[in-house]
Amino acid sequence: MRESQAFPSNWMKAADAQEPTPLTITAVGSDTVGQGAEAEVKRVVCFKETEKELILNKTNWKAIAKISGQDDDDKWVGVCIEVFKTVVEYKGDHVDALRVRPPGGWEAWNGPGEKQEVGKAAAADSDLPF
């Protein structure tokens, strides 16, 4: 049994995105992340294609703001993004992380855009890795 099966989480992790995954935003809100003294209120994004939520950091917040053309996260509903796994430096170590980009990548992006649904083939729930 894999760790993700033994200890399921409500939050997306880098291990959940082995392949770039297109997702459609359905809501943005706040939730308490962590427990006890470590608990913090964070902004989180909900998606049509999965029950797991993405905890926003500043990097991913800025990416979604750029993709949507909106710096108000209340206006992100319906925006399509792609989450992908990458490696980043964190406190002197190289660690896996989730990042956000437009579906198809930044190279194919034509600017802030239309709210559109993720393509049927890419959005099939059975195809999602999480």
Region 107-121: mean pLDDT is 62
Q: 63 near 106, Cβ under 8 Å?
A: no
Q: Percentages helix, strand, coil for the chain, rounded to the nearest 5? A: 25, 35, 40
Structure tokens at 60: 């991913």
CA triplet 16, 22, 25: central angle to 5 degrees?
Answer: 100
For the chain, the domains span 3-104
**56-83 pLDDT per residue, tens:** 999 999 999 999 999 999 999 999 999 9
**8-19 pLDDT per residue, tens:** 788 999 988 889
